[in-house]
Amino acid sequence: MAQQIPVAFILWLLGGLEWVIWGVAVRVSVSLIGHWAVGHYAHRQGHQGWIVEGLPVQGYNLPWLGLLTFGENWHGNHHAFPHSARLGVEAGQFDPGYLFIRGLEKLGLVHDIQLPQSKPMRAGLTRIS
């Protein structure tokens, strides 16, 4: 949590307490709720494009959580391709997290971005419709 202190200090200087509340407290709360929602719902229900035989828990895709989770809502795809930076692997799956990573690549801040085809398919992975 200490990493929020410099952010809070800068926001305090720029706009006072209101900026700190919105820029730290609200932002962190929304992120944590999104993370919890994916962890809770994405292992129970939703669209399933892939099954990984032998996994005790399967992942499901939750399109309605897309913007809140920055693309982690494609959790079934994450189970299928855990190495991939791109989680929106099917047509129409918006993945803002991957777009952000690509932006960082263009700035020279990241490299060697892994995609689903970067590694062999994992054992037991089966595509379902």
| pTM of the predicted model as reported, rounded to 2 decimal places | 0.76
Tell whether the model's pLDDT for residue 36 goes beyond 80: yes
In a shared domain, residues 7 and 20: yes
Domains in the chain, number: 2
State the pLDDT at residue 41: 87
In a shared domain, residues 49 and 23: no
State the pLDDT at residue 3: 92
State the pLDDT at residue 35: 81
For residue 126, list its beta bridge partners.
51
In a shared domain, residues 53 and 108: yes
In a shared domain, residues 52 and 108: yes
Could you tell me what percent of the chain has a pLDDT over 90?
70
Tell whether the model's pLDDT for residue 68 goes beyond 80: no
In a shared domain, residues 66 and 84: yes
State the pLDDT at residue 122: 93
Q: Residue type for 98, please?
A: Y
User: d(Cα 118, Cα 123) in Å, to the nearest integer?
Assistant: 15
The boundaries of the domain holding residue 28 are 1-41
State the pLDDT at residue 32: 87
Average pLDDT over residues 30-42: 84
In a shared domain, residues 23 and 77: no
State the pLDDT at residue 93: 92
State the pLDDT at residue 66: 74
In a shared domain, residues 2 and 54: no
In a shared domain, residues 74 and 109: yes
In a shared domain, residues 122 and 60: yes
Could you tell me what percent of the chain has a pLDDT over 70?
99
Helix (H), strand (E), coil (C) string for the chain: CCCHHHHHHHHHHHHCHHHHHHHHHHHHHHHHHHHHHHHHHCCCCCECCEEECCCCCCCCECHHHHHHHCCCCEHHHHHHCCCCCCCCCCCCCCCHHHHHHHHHHHCCCCCCCCCHHHCCCCCCEEECC
In a shared domain, residues 58 and 98: yes
